[in-house]
Amino acid sequence: MKNIVNTAAGMVAAFILSSLMGSISPTLILSFNLLSVVVLYAAVSKGEVYGAVTGMLCGLLQDSFSIGVFGVAGIAKTLAGYTAGSVAKKINLAPFSRRYSFFALVLILELAVWAFMYAAIFSRRIYTAGGLIFLQPFLTALVAVVIFPLVRRVSHFLEMRKKT
């Protein structure tokens, strides 16, 4: 139950931060996908099924506030969550470079699935903002690599504080 509450809080926080970023500059939303960071964290820490379900929920949340077809981001994030959770069990993600590369590859997969489905459904090209959207996997992976240790430290601190 605690995991579900923490994941829901992460989803809400990511959505609020994304909304604030969008009000500052619309290009920030194309640069960072904070809901994908939540999916990566859930998948790496809890496994592929939890990552897939979190991906589905985050994707549907993202879809519900977008103009596109409902479910496209849900499918892309579900696949990313499952892939991240499945592969993370098999490799050592402790080194910074390996973790960054792994996250970037998963996020490239997510963007590719989303772009393919979007183009197939709408029969038109995606808005790339002059190619900025292609940097999104790399910038989001950087955010994830930086945030993960911070989240672990805060949760460890809270656990230690709860025990006393």
On average, the pLDDT of the chain sits at: 91
All structural domains of the chain, each given as residue ranges with its CATH number in brackets, are: 2-10+23-163 (1.10.1760)
Identify which of 99, 91, 108 has the alpha carbon closest to the alpha carbon of residue 143.
Answer: 99
Indicate the angle between helix axes 2-24 and 34-46, nearest 10 degrees: 160
> pLDDT value at position 38?
97
**CB 34, CB 14: distance < 8 Å:** yes
Identify which of 22, 47, 48 has the alpha carbon closest to the alpha carbon of residue 33.
Answer: 22
Mean pLDDT in residue range 41-47: 95
pLDDT tens track for 73-110: 999 999 999 999 999 999 999 899 999 999 999 999 99
> pLDDT value at position 138?
97
| CA–CA separation, 3 and 115 (whole Å) | 31
